[in-house]
Amino acid sequence: MIHRLASFKWLMLGNNSFTGNLPEFISNASKLTILDLTNNIFSGLVPKSLGNSGLLEVLLLAGNNFISEPSPPESSFINSLTNCTKLRVLTISGIPINGTLPVAVENLSTSLQVMHAQGCGIRGTIPNGIGNLSGLVKLSFYGNDLSGSIPNTIKGLQKLQGIYVGENKLHGSIPNDFCELPELSELYMGYNQLSGSVPACLGNITSLRQLDLSSNNLTSTLPASFGNLKDLLVFKANLNSFHGNLPSDIGKLKAVIQLNLAYNNFSGDIPDSIGDLQNLVRLYLEHNDLMGTIPETFPSLVSLETLDLSQNNLSGVIPESLDKLVYLKYFNVSYNKLHGEIPSGGPFRNFTSQSFLPNEALCGATQFGVRPCKTNSVDRSKTRRKVVTICVSIAISLVVLLLTFVLLWIRRQKSKRLLIKIDLQPVAEHRRISYQEILEATNRFEESNLLGNGSFGSVYKGVLSDGMVVAIKVFKLQRERALKSFHVECDVIRNVRHRNLIKIITSCSNPDFKALVLEYMQNGKYGLEGSVSTSCDVYSYGIMLMETFTRKKPTDEMFAGQMTLKWWVKESLPSPVIQVLDRNLLRQGSENSLAEVDCVSSILKLALDCTAESPEQRINMKDSSGSPICNWIGITCSRRHKRVAALHLANMGLVGSIPPSIGNLSFLVSLDLSNNNFHGHLPDELD
C-alpha cells in the first residue's frame, strides 16, 4: 500500500471538530515535522507510535477527549517521544495522565523549547531531572495535583522565560534559584501552599513582566528591591499574610497595569507615589489595615478602570477630583471611616450605594444610599452663579448659531446667481494606474522583477509610488484568447467573494496594453512556468471546487445512478446555477445579481474543465481560462512538477468533512485546515 502521509511534512487540523480515535496511520508519516490537532474531539488513547516520527518538531494534542492509559507511567506515550530528538514544542494539556510524570520526561529532547501540560491530573513532585531540558523557554504544569517543593535544579533552565505552576499543592519556600534565571519574564505560582518570605533577589530579575504569588501562605513585607522591576506589568500578591507598609517607592513600577495586594495585613498610609502609575488599569487594596486619607494623587491614575479600597480604616473625604477618571468603571470604598460629600460628576454618575456601604458620615445624591448634604447660603450663592453662567453661555451660543445660519444663507444665494456648473464626482472610485506608472513600478519590466511567464501573460513584481508592493500581470495580446482571458479574470476576481482568490487592486487597459495589478504574495504563489505531466491533481481539485461551492459531497444520498455531483453541476449551467450554489457564499439579497451568477458560473465551468473524462481534455495548471490553479490563494505547487504540494486553507470558514478525494493529491506534503468548522473522522484515503 502507498501511504499518502509518508511524504507529509505539515499536518495542521487544529480548532475544528474532528472526531474518532487518532489514526495509527499518522505514525507512517516518517517525514512529519508539524502535527497540530489542538481543540478537536479526538478520543481514545494517544498512539505510542507517534514516537516513530523521528523528525517531529511540533506536537500539539491539547484540547481533545483522549483517555488515560491504565498502564504504569513507564509505558506512557510520553516515553515514546524520547525518540523525537528534534522535538521543540509539546502541548498535551487536558490529556488525563492521572498519575506521576514518567522519569523519561527528563530525557526528552534538549531542543524542547515549549512544554504545556496543564490540567492533566499529574500527581507527585516535579522531577529533579527537569533541569536537563536546558532548551526550555516555556514550562507549564498549571492546574494539576503536584506536591512537594520546587526543585533547585530549576536553575539549570537558563533560557526559561515563563514558568506556570499555579493551582497545584506545592509547598515550602520560594527558592532563590529563580533569581539565577536571567531571561525569566513570567512567573506564576498562585494558588499553592508556599510559605515564608519572598526572596529579595526577585527584585533583581529586571526582565520580569508578570509575577503571580496570589493565594499562598506567604508572610513578611514586600522587598524594597521590587522597585527595580520597572517593566513589571502584572503583580498579584493577594490572599496571603503580607504585613507592614506599602513600599514608599511603589511609584517606580511605572509600567504596571494590574496591582493586586488585597486580602493581606498591610497597614499605614497609601503612598502618594502611587499616583505615578499612569498605566495602571486595575488596583485592588481591599481587606487590609490601611489608614489615613485617599491620596490627592489618585486623579493622576488616568488609565484606571477598577479601584477597590473597601474593608480598610481609611478616613477623610473622597477627593472631588476623582471624577476626572473618565475610564473608571468600578469603585468601592465600603466599610471605611470616610466623611463628606460624594462626588457626583464623571464616572460617579454610574455608581450606586454598593460602592459606599455603611460610611454613615458620607452624604450626597440619593443614588448612593446616603443622606443629603446640608447646603448653606454660600452654597446657594455658588449655585446661582453657576446658573447665570450657564444661561449666558447658552445665549451666546444661540447668537453665534443664528449668525452662522444667516451667513450660509447669503452665500448660498450668491452661488445660485453665479450659475457655475459643478461636475459631481462619484462617491468612491477604484484606484487608477497608468502605463507610465507600471513602467516605473517594474523598472521598465526589468528581468529581475519577473515572477513568471504563462500562456497569456507575464507576472512582474512592482513597487507603486506610495510604496505598496504588488504583482502586475501583463497580458500578451498577440496570443489568441489573451484578450478574453483578461476580461474573464477581471470579472471573476472582482465579483467572487471566496477567500481563496488573489485580491485584485486595479487594472490598466489601453488598446495596445492590458494588465492587472494584484495583491503581492510573499511566497510567489503565481506558478506560471512549467508544464503538467499528470492530471489526477487537476481532477481532484475540480471535485473539491464543486464540493466547496455546492456544499455537497459526491457520496450524498441525492446522487445515484447517472445522477452524480459532476452531472448535477453540469446540468445547472449556465442559467440555473443558483440552484446548486451554497447560499452562504452569496451576499444577502444578491441571488439575482447577474455579476455574481456569471462569476459562480465561471468557477463551476473551471471545475468541469478540470474533471473531463479524458485526461487529455482536462485543463492543466498552467492555463485555466485566466485563473491558474497554482495562483489561487491557499494553494502552492511544486516548482519541479507543478503539482499541488500544499493546501493552506486556515481561517476560511469552511465546513463539512475532509473530502476523500484529497487522497489523490499524491504530491501533497503540507495540509493546513486549522480554524475552520470541519467535523467527522479523518479519511482513510490519507493513508
Output the known binding site for ATP: 484
List all residues 6 or more positions away from 423 whose beta carbon is below 8 Å from its beta carbon. none
In contact, 607 and 629? CB cutoff 8 Å: no
Strands (E), 173-324: 186-188, 193-196, 210-212, 217-218, 234-236, 243-245, 258-260, 265-269, 282-284, 289-292, 306-308, 313-316
> Nearest to residue 42, comparing CAs of 21, 59, 56?
21
Please state whether 504 falls in left (phi above 0), alpha (psi between -120 and 50) or beta. Answer: beta
CA angle 412, 413, 417 (to 5 degrees): 115
- DSSP result, 581-624: S-GGGSPTT-TT-HHHHHHHHHHHHHHHHHT-SSGGGS--SS-S
How far apart (Å, rounded) are the C-alpha atoms in residues 95 and 78? 11
How far apart (Å, rounded) are the C-alpha atoms in residues 141 and 133? 15
> Nearest to residue 93, comparing CAs of 51, 131, 122?
122
How far apart (Å, rounded) are the C-alpha atoms in residues 414 and 433? 39
Query: Which amino acid is located at 116 in the chain?
Result: H
Query: Which amino acid is located at 55 in the chain?
Result: L
> Which alpha helices (DSSP H) does 256-370 contain, by range?
none
List all residues 6 or more positions away from 539 whose beta carbon is below 8 Å from its beta carbon. 610, 611, 615, 618, 664
The string over 418-428, giving b where at least 16 C-beta atoms fall within 10 Å of a residue's C-beta and e elsewhere, is eeeeeeeeeee
The number of C-alpha atoms within 13 Å of 135 and in the hemisphere containing its C-beta is 16
**How far is Cα of residue 157 from the mean position of the Cα atoms in its chain?**
29
β-strand 635-637 against 644-648: which pairing, if any?
antiparallel
How far apart (Å, rounded) are the C-alpha atoms in residues 58 and 34? 5
How far apart (Å, rounded) are the C-alpha atoms in residues 397 and 39? 60
Strands (E), 403-456: 450-453
Q: What are phi and psi of 195, to 5 degrees?
A: -135, 180
Neighbours of 249 (CB within 10 A): 14
How far apart (Å, rounded) are the C-alpha atoms in residues 178 and 140? 15
H or E element at residue 544: helix 536-550
